[in-house]
């Protein structure tokens, strides 16, 4: 039977219409509840049980989003950074716990679109996308050049199904799996971000500082680390840090900055820390103690790098409408 070109075009068009008419993937069932207040005891209990006290875990057809605000949930749903979400300020305050079941046989990669469907249904979310010129912080080399050590190894991806080592936990970030090891005795953590490199940090009690070390990291990966740190700390308005160093390769480095910034971050995120946490023996606040270390921005300068305010086009997900209270489960 002879099939004309016109007939084929019509069949392809009908197929395209059919595909476009299909609804987005959705969770089979899901519960959405406001998160209970987070305090130090709950955080420690979760870590001792081998579970992160916040974040996303998607495994065996089950998706859990724990102690996350709506702005962060949108970063998972649209696979973007927090600075790429434009919406009401209150989106970053109220936190939710979501437990959902994916349809049998659903790939893990469907979870973001399923989360979109859930937010649209329960919070009546509507959005549109736009590319807008925004202020950013450009990471550039200082006069003497970066004071970094070239890495002996290149990073590798985080294996999805490889066994966890003792004390190690896995969580799902918007851009892929992340492995975390926490040592509660020393207050230190190691975070393996796969292709972005590895980061570790620990508290230096005598100096009242945080020491951050990174390895096998590109300048682009380091800029992403800084973006997340500034977003959490609230510094520089949570602006994006972009790499404009023109430095290629993988590097190891470290920086040390005030513990007070981290404590302020935790309290701003709603974590109930005892008033004595972060205070030296004399009871004075760390922020007023000159031994409390430099700011994060100053620590970056000590590495032979600078942060300059510049303009760049940023792709945004703009929230047109979202309810403060979700509909009933």
SS3 for the chain is: CCCCHHHHHHHHHHHHHHHHCCCCCCCCEEEEEECCCEEHHHHHHHHHCCCCCCEEEEECCEEEEEEEEHHHHHHHHHCCCHHHEECCHHHHCCEEEEEEECCCCCCHHHHHHHHHHHHHHHCCCEEEEEEEEEEEEEEEECCCCCCCEECCCCCCCCCCCCCCCCCEEEEEECCEEEEEEEECCCCEEEEECHHHCEEEEEEECCCCEEEEEEEEECHHHHHHHHHHHHHHHCHHHHCCEEECCCCCCCEEEEEEEEHHHHHHHHHHCCEECCCCCCCCCCCCCHHHCHHHCCCHHHHHHCCCEEEEEEEEEEEEEEEEECCCCCCCC
The predicted structure's pLDDT at residue 17: 40
The predicted structure's pLDDT at residue 129: 95
Six token digits for residue 304: 């032979």
The low-confidence residues of the chain, meaning pLDDT below 50, are 1-21, 235-237, 276-291
The predicted structure's pLDDT at residue 218: 87
The predicted structure's pLDDT at residue 190: 80
Predicted TM-score (pTM) of the model is 0.67
The predicted structure's pLDDT at residue 185: 66
Q: In what order do the strands lie in the sheet with 55-59?
A: 29-34, 95-101, 62-69, 55-59, 168-173, 176-183, 188-192, 198-204, 209-217, 251-258, 149-150
Render pLDDT for 116-168 as a digit per residue (tens, 0 to 9): 999 999 999 999 999 999 888 899 998 888 888 889 888 776 666 677 666 67
The predicted structure's pLDDT at residue 15: 46
- Asked if 296 and 212 touch (Cβ cutoff 8 Å), the reply is no
Distance CA 166, CA 18 (A): 49
């Amino acid at each position: 039977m002879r099939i004309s070109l016109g007939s084929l075009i019509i069949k392809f068009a009908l197929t395209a219409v059919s595909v476009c008419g299909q609804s987005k993937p959705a969770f089979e069932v899901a519960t959405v509840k406001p998160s209970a207040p987070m305090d130090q005891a709950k955080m420690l209990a979760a870590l001792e049980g081998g579970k992160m006290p916040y974040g996303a875990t998607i495994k065996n057809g089950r998706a859990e989003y724990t102690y996350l605000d709506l702005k962060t949930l949108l970063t998972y749903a649209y696979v973007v950074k927090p600075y790429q979400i434009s919406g009401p300020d209150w989106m970053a305050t109220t936190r939710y716990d979501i437990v959902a079941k994916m349809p049998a046989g659903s790939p893990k990669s469907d979870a973001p679109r399923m989360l979109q469907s859930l937010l649209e249904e329960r919070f009546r979310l509507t959005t549109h996308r736009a590319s807008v010129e925004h202020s950013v912080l450009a990471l550039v080399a200082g006069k003497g050049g970066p004071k970094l050590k070239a890495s002996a190894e290149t990073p590798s991806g985080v294996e999805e199904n490889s066994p966890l080592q003792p004390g190690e936990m896995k969580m799902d970030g918007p851009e892929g799996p992340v492995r975390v090891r926490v040592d509660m005795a020393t207050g230190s953590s190691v975070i393996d971000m796969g292709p972005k490199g590895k980061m570790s940090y620990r508290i230096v009690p005598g100096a009242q500082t945080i020491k951050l070390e990174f390895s096998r990291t590109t300048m682009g990966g380091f800029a992403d680390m800084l973006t997340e740190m500034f977003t959490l700390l609230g510094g520089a308005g949570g602006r994006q840090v972009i790499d404009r160093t023109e430095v290629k390769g993988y590097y190891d480095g470290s920086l040390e900055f005030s513990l007070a910034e981290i404590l302020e971050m935790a309290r701003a995120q709603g974590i109930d820390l005892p008033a004595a946490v972060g205070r030296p023996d004399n009871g004075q606040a760390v922020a007023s103690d000159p031994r409390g270390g430099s700011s994060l921005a100053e620590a970056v300068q000590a590495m032979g790098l600078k942060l300059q305010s510049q303009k760049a086009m940023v792709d945004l997900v703009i929230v047109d409408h979202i309810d403060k209270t979700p509909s009933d489960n």
